[in-house]
Amino acid sequence: MDAVGWRGRRRSGGHSLPPGEPGGGQLPHEQGGSGGDRPLEATLTIDALGRKCPIPIIMAAEQIRDIPVGGLLALLADDPAAYTDVPSWCRMKSHELVDRYDHATGWAFLIRRSY
C-alpha cells in the first residue's frame, strides 16, 4: 500500500505513513455508481516532506499536469507554510482540495485536478 493508503505512482521516495498513524491507512470513500462507496485512490503521490515552501507548491504545479482531469494528486508536506499555502493554491488554480490529513510529521493533501 502506498503512503496514506493512496495507490498510484509515487514521486520522491522515502517517507510513508503506517496505517495505524493518524492520516495513515485508508482514505474516505466516495460514492460509486451502483456498488456504493469506493475508496479514493490517488493517481500520483508527491513526497515533499523535508522541503520548504514554496517547493511543495512548485512540485504540485509541475506534476498535476501528469494526471488526467478529475484525477487525484496526493501531496505530502511538513513545512508549516504548506498548511495554508496548499489550500490557497488549490483555490487560486480552481483545483479541488478533497481533504487534508494531519500526521506526525506534517500533512497529507488530496487534490482533484479540475482542468
Active site residues: 53
Helix residue spans in the chain (DSSP H):
55-63, 82-93
3-state SS string over 98-114? Answer: EEEEEECCEEEEEEECC
Task: Report yes or no: 73 and 42 within 8 Å, Cβ to Cβ.
Answer: yes
Q: Name the grid cell of 27.
A: 482514505
> Cα separation of 12 and 90, whole Å?
21
Q: Name the grid cell of 90.
A: 488549490
